[in-house]
Structure 1
Amino acid sequence: MREGKLPKRQYTQEFKAEAVRLAASVGGHEAARRLGVPVATLGNWSRRGTASAGASGAVAPPSEAPTRRPVSELEAENSRLRRELADAKLDVEVLRKATAYFARGSR
């Protein structure tokens, strides 16, 4: 095996089908991150499942189309807190630069 090359992984058909279902519910990138599978691999499984349903070796397509789930209260609070944190970091950076400027001017 050459350096820098990962060994080829083999996944069961059940794992692929569950991965495609998860990708349909939470999104491809999030599902790939959760499962530790490359995003492109998960996309290939989804396309093969929808393009050739019923062919041997293909993953069954998800039973329903992916729907956008409503934002829960926790997700809304999380995004609000992230914005608040970003604002606080910006304030700290401005104060740090102002302090350096005025410290230089007093010499």
Structure 2
Amino acid sequence: MSTKTRRSYTETFKEEAVRLVRESGHPVAQVARDLGIADHLLYRWRAEQQQAEERGQTRQSLRAEQAELIQLRRENAVLKQERDFLKRAAAFFAKESR
């Protein structure tokens, strides 16, 4: 069983790759092949760049915002579970004390 290491790309590389797609007029798949990366990565980077530009942000700030939102949603779910547990416990003890 072979273990593959994940390649990581700098933000500058990603921005330049997206810029190449926009300015060259070549298909995304061809630019990806020329750069030696998978075409789905370049499609995703391009979509992220477009979404960030629509919001007036950078890709990094948009990704940080999305990561924070995910973390807050998880925290919110935990807090709801704790609240529901405490409600049930309070109801149980209120019934016991009667």
Using structure 1 for the length normalisation, give the TM-score: 0.46
Q: Indicate the RMSD between aligned Cα atoms, in angstroms.
A: 2.2
Q: Distance in 2 between matches of 1:58 and 1:31?
A: 26
May I ask how many residue pairs the two structures share in their alignment?
57
- CA offset digits 1:1-49 (Å, max 9, x no partner): x52x531111111110110011222220111000001000000000000
The 8 Å contact of residues 49 and 58 in structure 1, kept in 2 or not, is answered as no
Question: Taking structure 1 as reference, are residues 56 and 49 closer, same or farther at Cα in structure 2, changes over 3 Å only?
Answer: closer
Structure-1 residue corresponding to 2:11: 13
Q: Structure 2: any 5+ residue segments left out of the alignment?
A: 63-98
CA displacement at 1:55 relative to structure 2 = 4.0
Structure-2 residue corresponding to 1:38: 38
Q: Structure 1: any 5+ residue segments left out of the alignment?
A: 60-107
Percent of aligned pairs with the same amino acid: 30
The 8 Å contact of residues 52 and 58 in structure 2, kept in 1 or not, is answered as yes
Task: Pick the structure with more helix per residue.
Answer: 2
Detail structure 1 runs of 4+ shifted over 6 Å in the superposition. none
